[in-house]
Amino acid sequence: MTADEMKAIVMSFPGAEEGVSYGRPSFKLNGKFFTRLRGEDDSLVLMDVSFDEREMLMEAEPATFHFTAHYKDYPCVLARIGALHPGSLRNFLERRFRKIAKKSAVKAWEGGRA
């Protein structure tokens, strides 16, 4: 996936806003962290990933999923965008969206998808 494809997926969620964090693209939703692109390795920070799931992802797809010492105590995983499947990104972001978006926004979004 390219950076443009990644951005299109992120911005497809209602209320997603683009910003900058550490000089790289970052995205918020409802004023809360949604995801960001790390400059060090062109990886996205994907939140709300349990430690068990993170281990499974890294074992199953080590070319895609990893983490650094900074993230070891956070329920998240890093995903290299060049190796990440667009459908997988959408699934991770949908999980985060459901957690941080306003309930009315989630309900409207679900209604629009039906």
What's the CATH code of the domain at 47? 3.90.1150.30
Give the total number of structural domains in the chain: 1
Q: Please indicate, yes or no, if residue 111 is contained in any of the structural domains.
A: no
Residue 114 has pLDDT above 60, yes or no: no
Which phi and psi angles does 90 have, rounded to 5°?
-60, -40
Whole-model pTM: value is 0.91
Name the residue range of residue 22's domain: 3-103
CA angle 45, 47, 49 (to 5 degrees): 115
Predicted confidence (pLDDT) per residue in 40-80, tens digit: 888 999 999 999 999 999 999 999 999 999 999 999 999 99
Q: Quick one: which of 45, 44, 67, 46 has its CA closest to 55?
A: 67
Q: Please indicate, yes or no, if residue 114 is contained in any of the structural domains.
A: no
